[in-house]
Structure 1
Amino acid sequence: MISNASLQLLKYRRHAKRLFAGPGTLEAAAYRREIIAPEEQASFPPLLCLDGQIERITGAPAESTLAQELETATRSSGVHAPTIAYHLKDVALVDGSVYSGTMRFFVRELKYDGQAEPVEIEQAALVSSYYGVKYFGHWLRDDCTLHLLADDLGLPPLCLPGPTGLHVEHYKALFNQSCAPTFRARIRHLTIFSDYHHNRLRRERYERLRAVVGARFPHKGRRTLVYLKRGQDGARRWIENEAEIIDGLTRSGFVVLDTATTPFDAMLEALVDARLVVSLEGSHIAHCVYAMPSSSGLLVLQPPDRFSANQRQWTACLGIRSAMVVGMRGQQVGGYCFDLSEIQQTIDLLDRALA
């Protein structure tokens, strides 16, 4: 039976090896590299917005750069990297990192609490990603689809502690993806996926999970207009003039879904029939990935100082048109203001594009 002391010793030995041999790579550590989906060319429909919106953008989230986000927002074509499975032997999982030879594959920082007993695992596939363990949106888009890769290869899933909450539990039950978090382990054979792009294989996995949602919440033939209100979880980010925006949109036929208070079933029942969704940028938009119909439209209200274009990739993958309105900094910390007339004009742009 492996002990915490022996795992710690293994970790420090591998740190010492890195000092002399240099940091190892996933490619070098793997005894087998399996290309599951090849590289492919991609094209992206234009991100719809009014003139002058992009010039308002001043910053990006801490994990990205403004140049990267602007390139993602404005490009018309690109390359989707291949999806690769790296198979490794004799692996240690210690405090949120995977160690093999001189390689350290970092997922998240976990401090040992003195209680988690290490386990020995014969075979598994890692279904936790760097962003998925921190953000609900990435967990829902990335880690739930990684789970399907593990299933397809017949490998038990291995996950680290990640986002929590009722929505996480609802999706785990809906997708039948139960995975108890592992803190420390010795693993004889571990598979780690490189699965960062929205290629055809990602589209196929999205559609499999969308089919699960569609079976539970069938379309009713309506084409609803939805304002998806962000809850208070995550980074402090809110709309100071939200009451004005909600009043204007509800007068135009929008229904309001509050991700903090609307029951899970009611939220997905409305989203599966949505023609247009308007929402502040954030992880909560990931509910739309599995519920919004193709040929619908998503309008994201973007803070100017933390602009994120990640929705452009999955919307293009699923045939959903994407638009944005860039707001202004508000009077309070984490507050932003958005012009209602600009929102309404951009809705018109989306309407014409969908027509």
Structure 2
Amino acid sequence: MGLIEKKVRFSPIGYTRYLKGLKKTYMMFRQGKLLESLAVKSWEIAPGNTTISKKAYFLENQLERVTGSAYTDDPHAVMHGGISIVHNPTLAYLLKNIWMINGSIYKGLHQFQLHHKSKLSSKMNYFPPVIFDTEIKNASIYSSYDGNEFFGLWLTDDCTNYKLAAVEGTPITTDIFTSPHMLEYESLLNMNPYRTNAVYLKDAVFFDDDWGNNKKKQEIFNSNKELLLSKFASNSHPGVFILRRNSGKTRIMLNEIEIAELMREKYGFKIVDVTQQSVQEIIAACAGAGIIAGIEGSHLMHGLMVLEPGASVLTLQPPNRFCGVLKITTDMQDLNYAFVVGIQKEENFYINFEEVEKTLSLLRF
């Protein structure tokens, strides 16, 4: 762990963002090349490797319904698989004399945002601190902009990087509102970060793998999975439908409850609700599941955290926002990925249950 000292320092650096043209702003995600240019030292934590993507399970003509996508440039290519995926090595960068203020990292003429400014109060945005009473030597930054924005990426990226950070120094993250689910996972995964909005870092290590899933990252993810499974019984059962309701980025499935109930009645699925239940309750239900099903979204990561190889994920996709990001994790974990594309109804969508059943049959369920 790094040394945390009480030492008063003064700096107006948080106000330099008001000076146009002086400071460049970046999101703290996939910034390896820039970090390397600012680092006094860089090194490889783990080598990269190449994998071949798996074909998803889906009915004929489903992709023809897709009218828009999110974070998936070519749904047809991604879902048909057979693509050679290059997973970059995990690199570490040592930077010196860093200021961390209200969710941003300041180094020289660069500002790196760890989260959107909307996650701070307006007062904190307009009046960043100028007096700092904490100094840390040997810190490590594991959190990222996208991890703070998307719960699923927090579980896959930030929680794996935490294990790397804990080896290098004091794991640091921004002190913003954290959901009860995230705090529960921190406890279950033995994570104990130092949260702050005003600190001077004499030395800080950053990590980047350019959103890859190399073998080292898989190993860390698997160790987190094993840690969770060691705390919950994983008796085999058909599956779990995870209700999303209106949580996260809005995409409303008009017959979500109806589909969940039909899967419970006809196939013995359990139903969990991320808006009402704790992580312990959700994982206890998902452990041992053959299939995790629900509207596409980060909430399904609760199930992916404990699914064992050979199990499946069935995503119900809005046609105007098709997203294949979760397939990155299912491919990494040797899980089957299946989907049904819904039918648009004004701004929302609904799912044809007959298509769900036919897709389940493709999974030999």
Q: Does 28-37 or 252-261 show the bigger shift?
A: 252-261
- Residue pair 2:68, 2:321 contacting (<8 A) in 1 also: yes
Number of paired residues? 341
User: Which position in structure 1 is the counterpart of 2:255?
Assistant: 241
| C-alpha distance 267-42 of structure 1, shift in aligned 2 (>3 A) | same
Instruction: Determine whether 1:48 maps to 2:57.
Output: yes
Residues 36-74 of structure 1, C-alpha deviations (whole Å, 9 max, x = no match): 11221111211111111122212123xx3x525554434
Residues 325-353 of structure 1, C-alpha deviations (whole Å, 9 max, x = no match): 1112224x4x210110111111111127x
User: Which position in structure 1 is the counterpart of 2:229?
Assistant: 214
Q: How far did 1:263 drift?
A: 4.1
Residues 213-269 of structure 1, C-alpha deviations (whole Å, 9 max, x = no match): 11100323x233211111432222221122431232122222211222234323212
Return the letter of the residue paired with 2:277. Answer: T
Q: Tell me the SS of whatever aligns to 1:193.
A: strand
CA distance in 2, matches of 1:108, 1:47: 32
User: Which position in structure 2 is the counterpart of 1:152?
Assistant: 167
Q: Which of 7, 12, 19 is matched with 2:13 structurally?
A: 7
| Superposition pairs of residues 131-150 of structure 1, within 5 angstroms | 131-150=146-165
| C-alpha distance 88-15 of structure 1, shift in aligned 2 (>3 A) | farther
RMSD: 2.6
Q: How far did 1:115 drift?
A: 7.7
User: Which position in structure 2 is the counterpart of 1:326?
Assistant: 341
User: Which position in structure 2 is the counterpart of 1:303?
Assistant: 318
Return the letter of the residue paired with 1:73. Answer: M
Task: Report the TM-score, using the length of structure 1 for normalisation.
Answer: 0.87
Q: Which of 260, 273, 287 is matched with 1:258 structurally?
A: 273
| C-alpha distance 168-90 of structure 1, shift in aligned 2 (>3 A) | same
- Residue pair 1:95, 1:109 contacting (<8 A) in 2 also: no
Q: How far did 1:30 drift?
A: 0.9
| C-alpha distance 163-56 of structure 1, shift in aligned 2 (>3 A) | farther
Return the letter of the residue paired with 1:227. Answer: F
- Residue pair 2:135, 2:199 contacting (<8 A) in 1 also: yes
Task: Report the TM-score, using the length of structure 2 for normalisation.
Answer: 0.85
Q: How far did 1:273 drift?
A: 0.8
Instruction: Determine whether 1:349 maps to 2:362.
Output: yes
Q: Which of 174, 193, 200 is matched with 2:188 structurally?
A: 174
CA distance in 1, matches of 2:128, 2:111: 23
Q: Which of 89, 92, 112 is matched with 1:85 structurally?
A: 92
CA distance in 1, matches of 2:23, 2:326: 41
Q: Which of 136, 139, 142 is matched with 1:127 structurally?
A: 142
CA distance in 2, matches of 1:70, 1:27: 35
Sequence identity (%): 27
Residues 165-190 of structure 1, C-alpha deviations (whole Å, 9 max, x = no match): 22112111111212243213221111
CA distance in 1, matches of 2:162, 2:20: 29
- Residue pair 2:15, 2:128 contacting (<8 A) in 1 also: no
CA distance in 2, matches of 1:14, 1:191: 28
Instruction: Determine whether 1:73 maps to 2:79.
Output: yes
CA distance in 1, matches of 2:321, 2:96: 40
Greater strand fraction, Structure 1 or Structure 2: 2
Residues 58-98 of structure 1, C-alpha deviations (whole Å, 9 max, x = no match): 2123xx3x525554434422111111111111112234332
CA distance in 2, matches of 1:161, 1:25: 25
- Residue pair 1:126, 1:191 contacting (<8 A) in 2 also: yes
Return the letter of the residue paired with 2:108. Answer: G
Residues 142-168 of structure 1, C-alpha deviations (whole Å, 9 max, x = no match): 211111111233x11111245622211
- Residue pair 2:292, 2:300 contacting (<8 A) in 1 also: no
- Residue pair 2:56, 2:79 contacting (<8 A) in 1 also: yes
Q: Tell me the SS of whatever aligns to 1:239.
A: coil
CA distance in 2, matches of 1:318, 1:138: 15
Residues 272-304 of structure 1, C-alpha deviations (whole Å, 9 max, x = no match): 110111111111111123211221011011111
Q: Tell me the SS of whatever aligns to 2:200.
A: strand
CA distance in 1, matches of 2:73, 2:46: 28
CA distance in 2, matches of 1:191, 1:277: 36
CA distance in 2, matches of 1:41, 1:277: 27
CA distance in 2, matches of 1:184, 1:70: 46
Return the letter of the residue paired with 1:208. Answer: S
| C-alpha distance 71-186 of structure 1, shift in aligned 2 (>3 A) | farther
Structure 1 segments unaligned to the other structure (5+ residues): none
Q: Which of 283, 288, 291 is matched with 1:268 structurally?
A: 283
Return the letter of the residue paired with 1:198. Answer: N
| Superposition pairs of residues 51-62 of structure 1, within 5 angstroms | 51-61=60-70
- Residue pair 1:160, 1:181 contacting (<8 A) in 2 also: yes
